[in-house]
Structure 1
Amino acid sequence: MMLHCSSLFLKKINFVFVLRLQNEKWMNVKVGDIIKLENNQFVAADLLLLSSSEPHGLCYIETAELDGETNLKVRHALSVTSELGADISRLAKFDGIVVCEAPNNKLDKFTGVLSWKDSKHSLNNEKIILRGCVLRNTSWCFGMVIFAGPDTKLMQNSGKTKFKRTSIDRLMNTLVLWVSEVHDDMGQKTDMTKKKAVDFSVNPQADRTFQFFDHHLLESINLGDPKVHEFLRLLALCHTVMSEENSAGQLIYQVQSPDEGALVTAAKNLGFIFKSRTPETITIEELGTLVTYQLLAFLDFNNFRKRMSVIVRNPEGQIKLYSKGADTILFEKLHPSNKDLLTLTSDHLSEFAGEGLRTLAIAYRDLDDKCFKDWHKMLEDANSATDERDERIAGLYEEIERDLMLLGATAVEDKLQEGVIETVTSLSLANIKIWVLTGDKQETAINIGYACNMLTDDMNEVFIIAGSTAAEVREELRKAKENLFGQNRSFSNGHVVFEKKQPLELDSVVEETVTGDYALIINGHSLAHALESDNEKDLLELACMCKTVVCCRVTPLQKAQVVELVKKHRNAVTLAIGDGANDVSMIKSAHIGIGISGQEGLQAVLASDYSFAQFRYLQRLLLVHGRWSYFRMCKFLCYFFYKNFAFTLVHFWFGFFCGFSAQVSKKAIFFLL
């Protein structure tokens, strides 16, 4: 077996084939080993999925320790390797060569090429199982180790454990040897509070009573209106939802976002039921009739496209492209004949947005066979490319997603846990700055911000940093600061420190005076460039001038880096609160770490200084118990020093009267007291 890993560092690994499986400790796992995983087992290394017990090489994983999401995700092996099955002799003789990227901390991206049997196959994140995942609903699977030990993406995102010392503790060490606890910091003014966007939504698995408010919609479905059927068919086909049946035979949906779950459930309640999917097919039940569609292509969502599409072939042989996404993006892709429906839909979307609902536009396109075959051939070539793969694929997506026919729009309401809005409002009134560091996609993070009143329509401006290079991020940060202060930048002491083009030379960032409310939103890719040494102070300056900061699609390591950035350049007390294993690094880095016990395990709780069950308890912990603890500790320290000075100085004073003899000033009983 041979493995080439990265064009930056290539190494060959030769193995003596042993035609049997043997148990090994994680520490003995090496690059190139083939590992068998069984259901509910943790993944020991970053693996290339070769085969599994499920049809078409599928397997299901839980990534709660990586990104905090408890829903199951699907991974599928290449068709050429899935044929290996569980045949140990064939697996041991696997001699593929993998050329892939160097080890990095990007959890949502992988680029590589597998060369085997005189052909090349592109590899992406859908073919990789990362260390820290748990195999679910899959009897077994085999994978080849791509990265092991400290090179795995999980370890690349891990932070070091540090002993935490409070400000009172540091002050005491200059006076007397003393030991304290982290609750001393809780009562102080917390200039910067870090928090992950904990799952505030109502449990998506809870039973709901579905109510029909629009009887015209039901009539249109019953009468067979083709546009209405196409609309519901799109909702049942265009998504990333996975389905499974529980022991009672009920259909359970595993969703990556609550919006997708709501839309698929709505289609289900209206008669278009998503049943199952494989890498090549999607099966739905249309008004009692089981229909299987051939899945030809999946055009995934990202923050730049702001839409997703699927291309399917129906049983009649027609090829359809179904697309859903942000209305501002999708409306630009519509055919000119949609003018009247576009006007009506825009009015409805404005009404929905005014009610605080999250909206999506829905559209489709008919494709002919020749057009699709030519496009799909170019897509295969782009997927096999090693240079500029992402740019070529994005261009092909743009080419096929045009001349769409509008079907309508959707609106989804998101409810929060009890007390979330009140807690955020109270902390803001206490001059505690709240930053959201989340692994969720940008749209979800923004919607949570609006739902919590951290983002409002009354804000002067919302800055979105989305540069793909360090230079682009630096320019966007500079323009955002110019919008705040024009040509100069003023600090709270009223002095002009530098003109707009003069570089910053301060060792720390001090408090700024800003008129108006501003918000900063930045995604994980841009944040990686913003945290570089040349840009980090610009980022922190802009963030400190904003009322609200939202960092989305960030890795566990980036969360910790943001906390460390504030600790390095600001004289502030930081607090990190999270509920998942992906928050552990952030919790350990902050002055005060708080874990919330919930559906994502106890890793955050075990790594934290304090823990509780719901986010709303943070208000009382900070504003009541933390403040009281600080006052009590300060009063006790005053008593402690007074007692020691009084006890010591009495002996010194008494020495003048006893001639500094062995005579004691107090009886032995006083020493015991």
Structure 2
Amino acid sequence: MAIQPYQEDNEASSGPLDTAPAKRLRWATQRVAGSQGGTKRQSILRRLSHKKRSSDDSAKRESNGTDLESVPEGSEASTEQAGAGRRVFFNMPLPEDARDEEGHPIAQFVRNKIRTAKYTPISFIPKNLWFQFHNIANIYFLFIIILSIFPIFGASNPGLSAVPLIVIVTITAIKDAIEDWRRTVLDNELNNAPAHRLVDWENVNTAEDQISLWRKFKKANTRAITFVWHLWKNRKESKAEKRNSQKDRALDEGGDTRRPSMYSQRMSVISMATEEPGAMEMTPVHSPMPASAMEGSKEMDLGDHIRKSLENDALKPGDVHQVVEVAKDPTDPNAPIPKRFYGNIINPNKPTGKARFKKDCWKNVQVGDFVRLYNEESIPADIVVLSTSDPDGACYVETKNLDGETNLKVRQALHCGQKVKRARDCERAEFILESEPPHANLYSYSGAVRWKQYGSKNSDVEAADMAEPVSINNMLLRGCSIRNTEWVLGIVVFTGEETKIMLNSGITPTKRAQISKDLNWNVIYNFIILFFMCLISAVVQGTTWGKGDESLDFFEFGSYGGTPGLNGFITFWAAIILFQNLVPISLYITLEIIRTAQAFFIYSDTFMYYAPVDYPCTPKSWNISDDLGQIEYIFSDKTGTLTQNVMEFKKVTINGVPYGEAYTEALAGMQKRQGIDTDAEGAKARIQIARAKVKMLEDLRKLHDNPYLLDENVTFVAPDYVSDLTGASGPEQKAANEYFMLALALCHTVITERTPGDPPKLEFKAQSPDEAALVATARDCGFTVLGRSNDGIIVNVLGDERQYTVLNILEFNSSRKRMSAIVRMPNGKIVLFCKGADSIIYSRLKKGEQQGLRKTTADHLEMFAREGLRTLCIAQRELDEEEYQIWNKQHDIAAAAIQNREEKLEEVSDAIERDLTLLGGTAIEDRLQDGVPDAIQLLAEAGIKLWVLTGDKVETAINIGFSCNLLGNDMDLIVLNVQDENLASAEAELDKNLA
């Protein structure tokens, strides 16, 4: 490692990080009761060298079965077993190896009821006393009380000595009980939250729940307390309603015209539309009419309309044969594009019963249940999606309670389960879900659904074994919420403590403030002083008593000790009682009172009140609020914490030509370092960009009348790009610009959401805001993604509507740093589009070609990075039919694997993502949040040291540091460039230069 002053061209590189988790180990935030401060003073590098290394057992284990011998399209699936995983059976009898001697399932799954409270009514007293007596002062005062019990030590009233300690323990216990009671209330609300699950059918994966006598006793008490609480609450609310109704009559005498809530409309319609057994509980499209208009026959008409629409979607005999079996002729552009057959888990020969969806509590949801979720509802367990209200099987999920990200994620239903929409379909769905065991990695899951594919009803055709892989993109995790989706139907895989959110939360820790830990040491120091004081008193007393013919004899009325040694021993313990105030017990009472009052003041602080959600700052642990005043270091990431996580497409380089005008915050930081007036420069640049935007919009509308082009949505300002798109720079650059935007419109996993209006609006929902920004820019430039069909994407290319078949998606992850889409073009050619980090794409370009374009594009990307923009490279490769078919078979085998699926998919993907042809690069801006520079400056003035972690290049990070006030011109800028992975030498270099 070398340490040197900052130079303009220095860059830091980082290699890929292997994040594959070991099974059953915590992957994300781990909360552990208690804390150890042994590593507090160690440097970061030393802690890295002592990091716990977990071994990946899954890499050493071999599969018990064999791989798939053919692809899932109508062929036999493998019999690979999940090792230490689980098998969940649906409408199938359990095999012998899954049953015990009495026929009950061997596998025992945990309940979905969770408890985050630390105490129970029985364990509260002993457990709370155990935690309280971790304070050495409490042990000391208890010892003094025990000494006071013995009259030989001269204590006058032992009961009076115990009062202070009893008061301290009682006050602390009451505070802890209130905190834990709030946790218990939240647990009960969550466990009793409503969920719609399938009832009146047999879930073979769970045995009959045997309720113990203790659980019956608890249930009876809980119901009694809940009944009394609701009775008192309802009376109070009814009185308030009477007072409000009297006021309402004076204001509104014309009847109730209030609009009903969406939930009440939905539930009223569902209750009518699902009266018959097996009817589907589906969320209808809400009517704009008020509740008063939905009366009598109109309500029944709406229910009949829903039932008719459901019958039209019913499974028809012979659906399995509705597949286009025509091969695509590359020479005939009008030939039909072959559709891929994914199969169907419904057995048309199986009779239906009386199963129906019923509202139940979360705590009653079990592994193997069918669950239906509605819009805005939270997810009660880890669920695999079978079908959704969206025709493409997509649903939107909000994961902010899980990972803190506010952008919606897209989850996809299994292809084989998209026909399962009603209760009767659930009864006829016969399949096995093979799953890996539960682990805490939020971004990884491997499983497979296996079933027998039947022909039409009463058909004599032999059923074929089929399989479909299940990944994290098919799973809804507990703690998330459904958004922008009417309904979702899924199956429960993990419940309770085995869900990913609970595996990451761990046990509720008992937190202690730093001042409490420091007071323990002060008590120890005071006790040492007290020990020597009492020892001196005992020695003096014993020595004085041993002397004869002293005047002491006239004042001594007797002694408990018969000898000088025994008298000194008694004096030692008597002195401890006399000098006990050396450790002030009143200090602890004062601290508990102050902390309680401080928690109230924090809750009442109007400056920490968040008006959009009507929620104040709520302290969860009252006894650590004073730690806020002792913060010395703050470690923060950049994206989404300092920045808005709202991506805006700013610049692009295509075929060696740069496009785009922007004045970024990092560019302002660069000018700030040079002493330039950034306010004046920024105002000048914004005027120039506004003029260029007006010209670009005029040219775009002349080129193509794009109904989805909205002025306020355009972030890419480049009039010269539109000029080249019309052929001003020649046909070669025109074709390159068109092909580049087409690549952006095809290489993604974005879902299109259309909002009707004049003009209509298209919104793109993506797992990454970068993807949405790329597709939105392609839309603004005339390459609009209109939506998805069963196998493809419909794109409007400058007014010409085309359909592209997406054959495979190789998804992005942190280790690959790239994603690819294999697309069959309308002319029959197969093209792989790949986008990712510039270092990754450049390493996969075809050797010996495009040398000039590579250098020019790299220079442009470096220039974009200096301006604080996030850069990506776009490349492509044409595949011949035979090569693709061979590769696709290997890909399907890897995708259906249970063990080491990610490693196998990475190996297969790596084989096809080679010999690429560079198309260009993009640059996206993620602006700082409002108030971030001022907040960082205040933290610096307070003496708090802020560390920011970013994956940007060195030049980009420095410029952003200046723009957000993390760095200043009065600082000495030092760049540490680590050339090797030897932590010892790196730490030695740091100690040498920074000590």
Aligned AA (1:180):
I
* 8 Å CA contact 2:857, 2:920 repeated in 1: yes
Q: How does 1:107-506 map to 2 (within 5 A)?
A: 107-117=442-452, 118-158=465-505, 166-167=513-514, 171=519, 175-178=587-590, 179-181=593-595, 185=626, 188-195=629-636, 197-198=640-641, 200-201=643-644, 208=712, 210=714, 214-223=718-727, 225-246=734-755, 248=757, 249-277=760-788, 280-335=791-846, 336-428=848-940, 430-434=942-946, 451-452=960-961, 459-461=974-976, 479-485=982-988
Equivalent residue letter for 1:296: L
Q: 1:99 aligns with which of 434, 437, 455?
A: 434
Report the Cα offset of residue 425 of structure 1: 4.4
Amino acid at match of 1:324: K
Is 2:407–2:769's contact at 8 Å kept on the other side of the alignment? no
Q: Are 2:389 and 2:485, in contact at CA under 8 Å, matched by a contact in 1?
A: yes
Q: Distance in 1 between matches of 2:716 and 2:499?
A: 49
What is aligned with 2:374? Answer: 38
How far, CA to CA, are the matches of 2:910 and 2:720 in structure 1? 36
| Residue matched to 2:993 | 515
| Alpha-carbon separation, structure 2, partners of 1:218 and 1:238 | 22
1:53 Cα deviation after fit: 2.2
Q: Deviations over 1:436-467 (max 9, x none)?
A: 69xxx967999789735599895533679xxx
**Aligned residue type for 2:476:** I
Cα deviation code 1:167-214 (max 9, x no counterpart): 557758673412223677367442233556536327569974647754
Name the amino acid aligned to 2:384: L
Structure 1 residue 15 and structure 2 residue 458: aligned?
no
SS at match of 1:392: helix
Task: Give the aligned residue type for 1:35.
Answer: V
Alpha carbons 1:274, 1:283 under 8 Å: kept: yes
C-alpha distance after superposition, 1:247-266 (max 9, x if no partner): 53311222333433332222
Using the TM superposition, give the Cα deviation of residue 351 of structure 1 relative to its aligned residue in structure 2, in angstroms.
1.7
2:382 and 2:477 in contact (8 A); partners too: yes
SS in 2 for 1:108: coil
| C-alpha distance in structure 2 between counterparts of 1:482 and 1:407, whole Å | 42
Q: Distance in 2 between matches of 1:462 and 1:70?
A: 34
Q: Secondary structure at the match of 1:23?
A: strand
Asked whether the equivalents of residues 303 and 442 of structure 1 are also in contact (C-alpha less than 8 Å), the reply is: no
Residues 7 and 95 of structure 1: CA distance in aligned 2, closer, same or farther (over 3 Å)? farther
Measure the CA separation in 1 of the matches of 2:632 and 2:391.
54
Unaligned ranges ≥5, structure 2: 1-80, 88-97, 99-104, 108-201, 205-352, 453-464, 520-583, 603-624, 649-709
**Hey, what's the Cα distance between the residues in 1 that align with 2:417 and 2:955?**
40
Is the 8 Å Cα contact of residues 66 and 132 (structure 1) preserved in structure 2?
yes
With over 3 angstroms needed to count, the CA separation of the structure-2 counterparts of 1:443 and 1:261, relative to structure 1, is farther
- In 2: Cα distance, 1:303 partner to 1:28 partner: 37
Deviation at 1:147, TM superposition (A): 0.5
Q: Hey, what's the Cα distance between the residues in 2 that align with 1:82 and 1:392?
A: 27
Closer, same or farther: CA 443–213 of 1 in aligned 2, 3 Å: closer
Of structures 1 and 2, the one with the larger relative CO (CA 8 A, separation 6+) is 2
In 2: Cα distance, 1:278 partner to 1:155 partner: 37
Which residue in 2 is equivalent to 1:629?
none
Contact 1:7 1:100 in 2 (8 A): no
256-265 vs 11-20, greater mean Cα deviation: 11-20
CA distance change for structure 1 residues 458 and 244 in 2, over 3 Å: closer, same or farther?
Answer: farther
SS in 1 for 2:449: strand
Query: How far is the alpha carbon of 1:434 from its aligned partner?
Result: 3.6
Q: What value does the CA root-mean-square deviation take over the aligned residues?
A: 3.5
Deviation, 1:245, is 2.2
**Aligned residue identity for 1:192:** Y
The normalised TM-score by structure 2 is 0.44
Q: Call closer, same or farther: CA 1:194–1:164 in 2, change over 3 Å.
A: farther
Q: Secondary structure at the match of 1:21?
A: strand
How has the CA–CA distance of structure 1 residues 199 and 36 changed in structure 2, closer, same or farther, with 3 Å as cutoff? farther
Structure 1 residue 278: Cα displacement:
5.1
**1:350–1:371: structure 2 CA closer, same or farther, 3 Å change rule?**
same
Deviation at 1:75, TM superposition (A): 1.9
Quote how far apart the aligned CAs of 1:76 are: 1.9
384 and 167 in structure 1: CA distance in 2 versus 1, 3 angstrom threshold: closer
Alignment CA distance shift 1:164-1:190 (3 Å): same
- Tell me by how many angstroms 1:106 deviates: 1.1
Gaps of 5+ in 1: 465-474, 490-512, 517-544, 546-673
Instruction: Tell me which moved more, 167-176 or 141-150.
Output: 167-176
Aligned to 2:395: 59
Equivalents in 2 of 1:43, 1:239: separation in Å? 27
**Would you say the 8 A contact 1:72–1:242 is kept in 2?**
no
User: 2 CA distance for matches of 1:159 and 1:278?
Assistant: 42
Distance 1:418 1:236, change over 3 A: same
Partner of 1:25: 361
Query: Percent identical across equivalent pairs?
Result: 35
Cα distance between partner residues in 2 of 1:22 and 1:6: 35
Q: Which of 403, 412, 415 is the equivalent residue of 1:79?
A: 415
TM-aligned CA distance change 1:316 to 1:445, over 3 Å? farther
The number of residue pairs the alignment matches comes to: 473
Against the structure 1 CA distance between its residues 27 and 443, is the aligned structure 2 distance closer, same or farther, given a 3 Å change threshold?
Answer: farther
Cα distance change of structure 1 residues 185 and 289 upon mapping to structure 2, 3 Å threshold: same
Contact kept? 1:39, 1:136, Cα under 8 Å: yes
Contact 1:358 1:447 in 2 (8 A): no
How far apart in 2 are the matches of 1:141 and 1:187? 43
Matches of 2:808 and 2:910 in 1, distance apart? 14
Q: Does the C-alpha gap of structure 1 residues 9 and 379 become closer, same or farther in structure 2, counting only changes over 3 Å?
A: closer
More strand by share: 1
| 1:97–1:307 Cα change, 3 Å | same
**1:361: how far off?**
1.4
Distance 2:744 2:956 in 1: 21
Q: Secondary structure at the match of 2:935?
A: helix
Matched to 2:466, the amino acid is S
Question: Is residue 76–residue 279 contact of structure 1 (8 Å, CA) maintained in 2?
Answer: no
Whether contact under 8 Å (1:232, 1:272) holds in the other structure is: yes
Give the superposition deviation at 1:342: 0.8
In 2 relative to 1, CA 484–168 (structure 1 residues): closer, same or farther, beyond 3 Å?
closer
Using the TM superposition, give the Cα deviation of residue 74 of structure 1 relative to its aligned residue in structure 2, in angstroms. 2.0
